[in-house]
Structure 1
Amino acid sequence: MYGLEAFSHVDTWVSLLTLTLMEIVLGIDNIIFISIMVNRLPVAEQKRGRTIGLLLALVFRIGLLLSISWIVSLRAALFTLTLPWLSAPFPVSGRDLILLAGGLFLIYKSTTEIHTKLQGEEELAQMGGNATKALSQVILQIIIIDLVFSFDSILTAVGLVDNVLVMMIAVVVSMGIMLAFSGVVADFVNRHPTVKMLALSFLIMIGMMLVMEAAHQHLDKGYLYFAMAFSLLVEMLNIRLRRKAKAPPVHGR
């Protein structure tokens, strides 16, 4: 069942709902990265930067879905490493190289962003204050990380569903939801510096996870996302506590 007739079965709708939710969860880190990157832009350009970033992610994912046979072929070994400290030959595939490059890039960008925040430097000033140049540089960085996140997302989709039409609908719906709420997420992250630092720390963890995946060390992403959710819950309690501490005391009559 690969055509429209597949939607007459309940299993197809269950798969569509499951995959859509999975795509939204996997897209959270993408939204966070885009939100932090576009924060360097002038306020008037930030919404445009987020929209371009998420639309590019949608285009990349649709393009990868149309190239599933190529995606599957990336799992094949390109060459084999034989090193003294390895107990057995280590096959390296195209998937491994993409995940390794993306993970290292994510670790580098998140670490430099943390350093910038700690130093109190303005990234826009480092870019020379040229808004057009700043937008083009931010979009270029978003394109790089979008490719990695899109690749990881499509690999997950291929493992869950075998109907390309269902995959495309799930990707479009999840991207539409993320685009609708990206501004809310970005405003919340930018209003709370501690949340931004927490998000950058988790982006480093995601980068490390991608590097480990490239080294054939599989990690259950559920543990990572649970840790993110738990840490965010604790931070919400801290934010509420800080608000109560700043509120004027209420005196009884």
Structure 2
Amino acid sequence: MGWMTSPELWLAFVTLLMLEIVLGIDNVVFISILSGKLPAEQQGRARIVGLSLALITRLLLLASLSWVIGLTAPWVTLFGHELSGRDFILLLGGLFLLGKATYELHHHLEGADEDEDGAGRKVAGFGAVVAQIVAVDIVFSLDSVITAVGMVEQLSIMISAVVVAMGVMLALAGPISSFVNKHPTVKVLALSFLLLIGGSLVAEGFDLHIPKGYVYGPIAFSVLVEILNLTARARRERRRAAARAAAGSGAETRTG
């Protein structure tokens, strides 16, 4: 842990930590969408289990760096592109995200299913939700660890950054999940974000690198606009409530 006294290594740690948190937003959004399909009493547990498994996966991958690095070696050539094990994992993960986000958008916009609870929301099984979280965790974890290996050499820095980033995501998962599931338009934006992430993963699988800013920027702007819309709507509702209260008070005074 000699890096604790080195300003250069501290800078590397902070930089990697910020990048891990940004990369983890995808995972938090996906977990928020899936956990929202569970009964309210199970949603918090699903988020904790999902992020805990993501942390375990990242630590296991960091503990087997030689195997992870070996995944970047070409396996086969397809359509003129050399595909590695990492590419195959990104392709499968991207296709899964595209399919899952499209499915969720369809059911969110077209209406509820037959198997629903009283609130009009489809009830999913806890095991099925956790299994889907684990499947996507593997993809996000692999991308996260390969990014960490490319940035720093000290394993202790990688592990520290991953653990702290996961703690931050665990703290944010609850509020993000509540916000996404409370506002239908935000949920549509979140699902659209997953579509973009799925498309970028498929592109990465074919060695077509899409800068993260092109993916995160439009969604961040859309979310900001929607937050402004929600704020304006809340203000209008408060004014209407105050006007109704004033009208009711005036009517009582005249009656008296």
Is TM-score (shorter-chain normalized) higher than 0.5? yes
1:192-203 alignment runs, 5 A limit:
192-203=183-194
Q: Secondary structure at the match of 1:248?
A: helix
**Structure 1 stretch 47-56 or stretch 8-17: which is displaced more?**
8-17
Deviation of 1:229 after TM superposition, in Å, equals 1.6
Instruction: Name the amino acid aligned to 2:187.
Output: K
Contact 1:77 1:91 in 2 (8 A): yes
Quote the Cα distance in structure 1 between the aligned partners of 2:127 and 2:31. 13
- Counterparts of 2:207 and 2:166, CA distance in 1: 29
CA distance in 1, matches of 2:161, 2:206: 29
Show the counterpart of 2:60: 63
Residue 146 in structure 1 maps to residue 143 in structure 2: no
Summarize the alignment of residues 162-177 of structure 1 with structure 2, pairs less than 5 Å apart: 162-177=153-168
Indicate the residue corresponding to 2:230 in structure 1: 239
Residue 146 of structure 2 is aligned to residue 155 of structure 1: yes
**Which consecutive aligned stretches of 4+ in structure 1 deviate over 6 angstroms post-superposition?**
none
User: Quick one: which amino acid aligns to residue 43 of structure 2?
Assistant: Q
Residue 108 (structure 1) aligns with: 99
Structure-1 separation of matches of 2:36 and 2:115: 9
CA–CA distance in structure 1, aligned partners of residues 73 and 26 of structure 2: 28
Superimposed CA distance per residue, residues 176-195 of structure 1 (whole angstroms, 9 cap, x where no aligned partner) = 11111211111111111100
1:209 aligns to 2:200 (yes or no):
yes
- The more displaced of 221-230 and 10-19 is 221-230
Structure 2 residue runs without a partner (length 5+): 247-256
Superposed CA RMSD: 2.1
Q: TM-score, normalised by structure 1?
A: 0.89
CA apart distance, 1:10: 0.6
Contact 2:112 2:122 in 1 (8 A): no
Deviation at 1:122, TM superposition (A): 4.9
Partner of 1:20: 17
Distance 2:239 2:196 in 1: 39
- Give SS of 1:171's match: helix
| Residue 225 (str. 1) matches residue 216 (str. 2) | yes
From 45, 50, 58, the equivalent of 1:48 is 45
TM-score (norm 2): 0.88
1: CA distance, partners of 2:45 / 2:125: 13
CA distance in 2, matches of 1:203, 1:130: 20
Larger Rg: 2
Cα offsets for 1:50-69 (capped at 9, x unmatched): 00000000000001111111
- Unmatched 5+ residue regions in structure 1? 84-88
How high is the sequence identity, in percent, across the aligned residues?
47
1:92 paired residue among 83, 86, 89:
83
Do 1:100 and 1:211's aligned partners in 2 also have CA atoms closer than 8 Å?
Answer: yes
Per-residue Cα deviation, 1:219-252 (whole angstroms, up to 9, x for no partner)? 1112222222211111111111222232334679
Residue 64 of structure 1 contacts residue 154 of structure 1 at CA under 8 Å; is this kept in 2?
yes
Worse overlay, 170-179 or 219-228: 219-228
